[in-house]
Amino acid sequence: MNMKEFFPPDAKIRCIPDKINPRVLLMGSTLKNRWKESALFPGFRQTARIYRLMMRLKVTIGIGNTIVNDAQQSLVKGFVSDLFPDLCSMVGLIGTSGPTQKLTIELWDKHRVIGYFKFAEKPAARLRLQQEQNILTSLPERLGPKSLKFGNLQEGLALVTTPLVGQRVFPSVAPPQKVLQLIRSFPQSKPQPMEQHPGCQMFSQTYGGEVEHWLRALADREWPVVFQHGDFAPWNLIQTSTGMINAIDWEYGNKEQLPFLDLAYYILQVGFFIFHWPASNAK
């Protein structure tokens, strides 16, 4: 994807960490705006947080790589103009390279974030974005963002959502109580026997005999069918100014899954990526 096509013509775009391998691109024209917009640059480990702070300070004071956009039009502005006529600035976050890579753009008016735009071009990434759209249209609004627009754009798919503004949840192996409350609030239906449970059937079809002994251990009771986030980790959880925690990035979501998988995923992700657990700790 050509990143320039998403930004306005003649825009002055600042790149973090550099213009050769940019991760975040922003348009802020003032010190204050560049500081606020650069908050999209990710970093969760201690060393990554220090590096993130350095990069944010650097771009805020105007040091670093800058390009002037030579694209003829903005794909984003054309797609969201009916939703956000007061759009003033954009901040782009380029996803990790690979089959499911996506582009996320934070949309700003003069003072605040007013929405998010996501774009997927590769086949696997388009499937993930379609799945996120399917989940968001069924999810209670208090649990995540609301889908505002979804459709084809050039050679890919685009999704626009409402903003969830706040701070990422601090990573800890023991999930905070509010994170546990969020998991418990995901929609669920009445319990079903294991042999009829769609989550159990999915695991059996996908993994076969590798998981049979685990599933048998759960067969002595019925289990509810629950919504699963699928990528439930601190970097996908936002604590708003009201103290509520909401989940973003639902592209791995599932409407018919076994309970508590998100909790296990959260602990394993934090343990591995933040605290460098060995694989044996997952047992």
pTM of the model: 0.92
> The domain 3-163 is classified under which CATH number: 3.30.200.20, 1.10.3720.10, 3.40.50.10860, 1.20.1090.10?
3.30.200.20
Which of the two residues, 1 and 50, has the higher pLDDT score? 50
- Distance (Å) of CA 136 to CA 53, 176, 178, 232: 32, 24, 21, 15
223-239: average pLDDT: 96
According to the per-residue pLDDT averaged within each range, which of 160-169, 224-233, 235-244 is highest? 224-233
Q: Does the pLDDT value for residue 116 go beyond 80?
A: yes
Q: Does the pLDDT value for residue 283 go beyond 70?
A: no
Q: Does the pLDDT value for residue 29 go beyond 90?
A: no
Q: What is the mean pLDDT of the chain?
A: 93
Give the DSSP letter of residue 209. G
pLDDT in tens, 251-280: 999 999 999 999 999 999 999 999 989 878
pLDDT in tens, 163-219: 998 899 999 999 999 999 999 999 999 999 998 999 999 999 999 888 888 888 888
- Counting residues of the chain whose pLDDT is more than 90, the rounded percentage is 78
Q: Does the pLDDT value for residue 153 go beyond 80?
A: yes
Radius of gyration of the CA atoms of the chain, in A: 20
pLDDT in tens, 44-84: 888 999 999 999 999 999 987 899 998 888 999 999 999 99
31-46: average pLDDT: 93
Check whether domain 168-189+224-282 has CATH 1.10.510, yes or no: yes
In this prediction, residue 186 carries a pLDDT of 95
Q: Which residue has the tokens 């009201």?
A: 242
- Domain ranges, ordered by start, for the chain: 3-163, 168-189+224-282
Ranges of beta strands (E only) in the chain are: 12-16, 24-26, 65-68, 89-94, 102-108, 113-120, 147-153, 156-161, 167-168, 226-228, 237-239, 245-247, 254-257
Is residue 127 within 8 Å of 135, Cβ to Cβ? no
> What is the band of 246 on the pLDDT scale with cuts at 50, 70, 90?
very high
User: Residue 177: helix, strand or coil by DSSP?
Assistant: helix
Ranges of beta strands (E only) in 164-263 are: 167-168, 226-228, 237-239, 245-247, 254-257
